[in-house]
Amino acid sequence: MNKEKIWLSSPHMGGNEIKYINEAFDANWIAPLGPNVNGFESDIQNYLDGDNSKGIEVAALSSGTAALHLALVLLGVERGDEVICQSMTFAASANPIAYLGATPVFVDSESDTLNICPEQLEIAIKDRIARSRKPKAIIGVHLYGMPYKIDEINKVAKKYDIPVVEDSAEALGSRYKGKNCGTFAEYSILSFNGNKIITTSGGGALVTKDVAKKQKAVFLATQARDNAPHYQHSEIGYNYRLSNISAGIGRGQMEVLDAHVEARREMFEFYVNLFQEIDGVKVFKEPNEDFYSNHWLTVIEVDEKLTGGIDREDLRNFLEAENIESRPLWKPMHMQPIFKDCPFYGTGIAENMFEKGLCLPSGSNLTDEDRDRIERAILDCLKK
């Protein structure tokens, strides 16, 4: 009998999404604007900043990639500029740099969080300045929901007067020193893709602390139409606004966000307990109490020297044969064919983690039966 697929991270509906969708249909708001869009933006604002929500502005967009692209546009990145980007990340963190004709400068990870290394970041900045190529921005990523070393990165950025774009695509619900990720930079971005902690099927958001910057983002995201009775355009615009239907899904998802975070963190604890007596498998966790990860995906490192010769690929292939999805960590951007000629600063940490790291099923909708199957498969593989 074929076993049902256990996915790495599948969509998980809460139940009230259909209520907001039906309201949009009933009112004929089938457009990239409407009550759900406004409501979804307010929901995110309130979640990120609580009672101080007036300090946060949110523009709901068609994707996290669109949000990152607009952030770079608003920061004035142009053809010929350079932008520093964390190397270990999904390609969507780097692609918008190329959209603008700029060059990505990739920086290695540090071993505590697997995120952008403050030391290598400063080395990269000093070298680019020495070459008269001062970077226009820094993109830091909260990888798999784990906050990057925010204080250290912001300290370096401030020292050289370079703005940070906070890529929180994977980190809604994560916190650093009690403050929500997505609120630490001039511009931050969120993603609501189908595999994220909550989803609108496809969507994202740009977060800023200035209402004028939000208004400018919305202007650019709606084809940059000038205020005129006819269609007039003085700037290049984009079709990046989120639809009222998708925003309705998002409103329902926001109602269960905290529950989804708790469920992901419970999956992480499941893996911590599973591997605590197993040699050669390390579960990546928060380095100290300043960090609070939503554990969007649980990450392990497999050391074949300690597992009796079983490496990452052995475990991944064994799980795949059991119809259980797992996946290697993001292949670092400086190793990607499309970016192979871009500058890179590092010591090989990201490369090593790509070789040894594995993301395990972490969805908020996994059942006890799913966990039993995962546990049996992992133990069977390591015993062999």
Cα(14)–Cα(26) distance, integer angstroms: 21
Question: d(Cα 295, Cα 171) in Å, to the nearest integer?
Answer: 8
* Exposure string for 318-330, b = 16+ CB within 10 A, e = fewer: bbeebebbbbebb
222-239 pLDDT tens trace: 999 999 999 999 999 999
Helical axes 35-49 vs 17-26, angle rounded to 10°: 150
Helices and strands per DSSP (H, E), number in the chain: 12, 15
Q: Note whether 344 and 310 are within 8 A (CB).
A: no
pTM: 0.96
Which pLDDT value is given to residue 49? 87
User: In which order are the strands placed within the sheet that holds 82-86?
Assistant: 57-61, 204-208, 187-191, 164-167, 137-141, 82-86, 103-107, 344-345
Q: Which residues of the chain have pLDDT under 70?
A: 1, 51-54, 384
User: Under DSSP, is residue 190 helix (H, G, I), strand (E, B) or coil?
Assistant: strand
With CA atoms as reference, report the closest residue to 353 among 85, 9, 88. 88
pLDDT at 384: 66
pLDDT for residue 51 = 57
Please name the residue that has the structure tokens 């192979």. 340
Q: Cα 297 to the chain's mean position, in Å?
A: 11
What is the Cα Rg of the chain in Å?
21
